[in-house]
Structure 1
Amino acid sequence: MAETNGTHEPVFLIFGKSGWIGGLLQEELKKQGATYHLADARLEDRAAVIAEIEKYKPTHVLNAAGVTGRPNVDWCETHKQETIRANLIGCLTLADVCAQRDLHMTYYGTGCIFHYDEDFPVDSGKGFKESDKPNFTGSYYSYTKAIVESLLKEYPNVLTLRVRMPIVPDLTYPRNFITKIIKYDKVINIPNSMTVLPELLPMSIEMAKRKLTGIMNFTNPGAISHNEILQLYKDYIDPEFTWSNFTVEEQAKVIVAPRSNNLLDTDRIKGEFPELLGIKESLIKYVFEPAAAKKEETLKAVREMRGR
């Protein structure tokens, strides 16, 4: 693969610059003092994608583009063509253009393509491996993501990262998984694999530098339930906080598409980064301890967000 652009330093090109993960990648690369550029092209526009790559001559492409829907993945159920265009055609176009130029591409995909079943029961400790075939297509979002992951395996230059229920320290950021469940009147209570972005995103940049390829379960080791997270919020931030649960069947009455719940195996990522913290330890270090350090400010912001 192309190692440099006349230098020995990597040059990153980010697609999805206005998205959540794209923005966080910019912050991280800037923090590292890395050379990076922001692409403007829509992924499905092959000529524009080629023009971006010829303009910036990257050594590494980071694909954080795509649609998840607003306010949530239910949007994809009624916008199927837009979902296909962004999550499938666009992603494959970028991978193909990179492959033809021997460029490494990191794709921030999803792990929401599996769900617990008889072979992978809840609380069994048995996680889905990178080699396992997706078994969840309950939402159109997950359906397209499972298809594109399968097709990307044919490209030897691509690293696919399975992100799940991403979390950041800002407890009022609307796409933060913790923010979502703090706002809900009722939550289900199922253990899940999750991605603590402040710990894992820097590792993804290192993965790109190492030119890792194939599929990587991009989550912290272990699973944590909704109730456990809300209890941490109660312990660290708001001792008066309360919540209630409902069943998956009750949840189904208030959403359009089913949601994925699973545990992903983390042997591969732990092999690359043995220092990676378990999910609860990571949440405490990267989210709840920093929030507790400015407790009054955090509590005020969260209560304003919740309208209480």
Structure 2
Amino acid sequence: MVETNGSSSEPVFLIFGKSGWIGGLVGDLLKQQGANFQFANARLEDRSGVIAELERVKPTHVLNAAGVTGRPNVDWCETHKLETIRSNLLGCITLADVCLERGIHMTYYGTGCIFHYDDVFPQGSGKGFKESDKPNFTGSYYSYVKAMTESLIREFPNVLTLRVRMPIVADLTYPRNFITKIIKYDKVIDIPNSMTVLPELLPLSIEMAKRKLTGIMNFTNPGAISHNEILQLYKDYIDPEFTWSNFTVEEQAKVIVAPRSNNLLDTARIEGEFPELLPIRESLIKYVFEPNAAKREETLAAVKEMRGR
């Protein structure tokens, strides 16, 4: 446990990553909860700027959702390696360090895209990577740096690292949404993966911060779901005329720069904290497909407009 900064018993949150997707969503949640929070303006790699932010806000909890993932995708990191290092490694470690010096708990929204199926963890076996397992996927520079960051930040006793995977929200036109991406593709691979349904899981991350949990947490819904299963749900709930086709990993490799991670993460720890957590398929139906089915015509029109751009 880490002693928190400040004298008030009310949590005070400081969010890094105000212009990012998850940072914005976390801010929205805290606002809805009536929580005491602010967004930071300093860049993570600016140690003096980060210290000034902490002195200004005097947070009890820091939420780090900052970093680069690349536009339009992680292939960007292959040609922007120094920017990736500064933000995703040096910046993250700097923030953890200055928080430790001041006794502040930090939650880091990391990634679970640092593992891939292999002979020890074969696809379809139901055997998932645990929090204690060492990353085995460095096929993309993004994942390579993220794996390095995780290996270093695990030494900080004040940090909770959340392994996010293929994040999903209800807005089927939002470009970062995993479902939005695959309904736009001409072809998709069909591999089961662990995924993170943000409407269900992000509120839990705030509760984890309040509980001052530390170490690594596989931050996904229990189980895995394939691309085809998700697209079938989209067809069943939203667009009966929707069609798609598949290609192999080898065929996919010809249209992307860096390989992608595919894996199943073990969720025993997060289920121990939150036994009510829904399995991935049930969570997708509750938080994504049923809400969109309730306004199907509106959703379908928005998706078709997006796909036509």
C-alpha separation in 2, matches of 1:277 and 1:245:
28
Q: Deviations over 1:134-183 (max 9, x none)?
A: 00000000000000000001100000000000000000000000000000
Could you tell me which runs of 5 or more consecutive residues in structure 2 were left unpaired when the two chains were aligned.
none
User: Could you tell me whether the CA contact under 8 Å between 2:5 and 2:103 is conserved in 1?
Assistant: no
Q: Judge conservation of contact 1:15–1:38 (CA < 8 Å) in 2.
A: yes
Shift of 1:125: 0.2
Distance in 2 between residues matched to 1:164 and 1:8, nearest whole Å: 33
How many residues are aligned here? 308
1:81 matched to 2:92: no
Question: Secondary structure in 1 aligned to 2:25?
Answer: helix
Partner of 1:270: 271
Partner in structure 2 of residue 58 of structure 1: 59
1:8 CA displacement: 1.2
Cα distance in 1, alignment partners of residues 271 and 204 from structure 2: 11
How many angstroms apart in 2 are the aligned matches of 1:161 and 1:138?
21
CA–CA distance in 1 between the matches of 2:67 and 2:5? Answer: 27
Correspondence for 1:154: 155
Please tell me the root mean square deviation across aligned C-alpha atoms, in Å. 0.7
The alpha-carbon deviation at position 7 of structure 1 amounts to: 1.7
SS of the residue 1:181 aligns to: helix
AA aligned to 1:100 is E
Q: Provide, for residues 74-131 of structure 1, a one-character-per-residue CA deviation record: whole Å limited to 9, x for no partner.
A: 0000000000000000000000000011110000000000000000111100000000
Give the Cα–Cα distance (whole angstroms) in 1 for the partners of residues 250 and 260 of structure 2: 11
**Per the alignment, in what secondary structure is the counterpart of residue 161 of structure 1?**
strand
Q: Post-superposition shift, 1:2?
A: 3.6
TM-score (norm 1): 0.99
Q: Which residue of 2 aligns with 1:200?
A: 201
Match of residue 175 from structure 2: 174
1:299 to partner: Cα distance: 0.1
Partner of 1:117: 118
Contact 2:62 2:105 in 1 (8 A): yes
The alignment's TM-score, normalised by the length of structure 2, stands at 0.99
Cross-structure match for 1:255: 256
Where in structure 2 are the equivalents of 1:1-308 lying within 5 Å?
A: 1-3=2-4, 5-307=6-308
In 2, the alpha carbon distance for the partners of 1:78 and 1:30 equals 37
- Give the 3-state SS of the residue equivalent to 2:23 in structure 1: helix
Q: How far, CA to CA, are the matches of 2:104 and 2:5 in structure 1? A: 10
Report the Cα distance in structure 2 between the residues aligned to 1:279 and 1:47, rounded to whole angstroms. 41
Question: Aligned equivalents of 2:3 and 2:302: distance in 1?
Answer: 46
Q: What's the secondary structure of 1:28's corresponding residue?
A: helix
Query: C-alpha distance in 2, partners of 1:190/1:156?
Result: 35
Q: Is contact 2:161-2:215 (8 Å) kept?
A: yes
Residues 111 and 217 of structure 1 are in contact (CA less than 8 Å); yes or no, is this contact kept in structure 2? yes
- Code of the residue aligned with 2:305 in structure 1: it is E
Question: What's the offset of the Cα at 1:245?
Answer: 0.1
Asked if 2 retains the 8 angstrom alpha-carbon contact of 1:4 and 1:10, the reply is no
The question of whether the paired residues in 1 share the 8 Å contact of 2:5 and 2:102 is answered with no
CA distance in 2, matches of 1:158, 1:206: 14
In structure 1, how many angstroms separate the alpha carbons of the residues matched to 2:226 and 2:68?
26
**Can you list the C-alpha shifts for 1:49-94, whole angstroms capped at 9, x where unaligned?**
0000000000000000000000000000000000000000000000
Q: Distance in 2 between matches of 1:44 and 1:20?
A: 20
Amino acid at match of 2:62: V
Name the SS of the counterpart of 1:204 in structure 2. Answer: helix
Q: Tell me the distance in 2 between the aligned counterparts of 1:94 and 1:101.
A: 11
Q: Is residue 190–residue 226 contact of structure 1 (8 Å, CA) maintained in 2?
A: yes
Q: Deviations over 1:269-295 (max 9, x none)?
A: 000000000000000000000000000
Deviation at 1:4, TM superposition (A): 5.7
CA distance in 2, matches of 1:254, 1:179: 18
Q: Which amino acid aligns with 2:124?
A: D
SS in structure 1 at match of 2:170: coil
SS in 2 for 1:27: helix
Whole-angstrom CA distance in 2 between matches of 1:49 and 1:67: 18
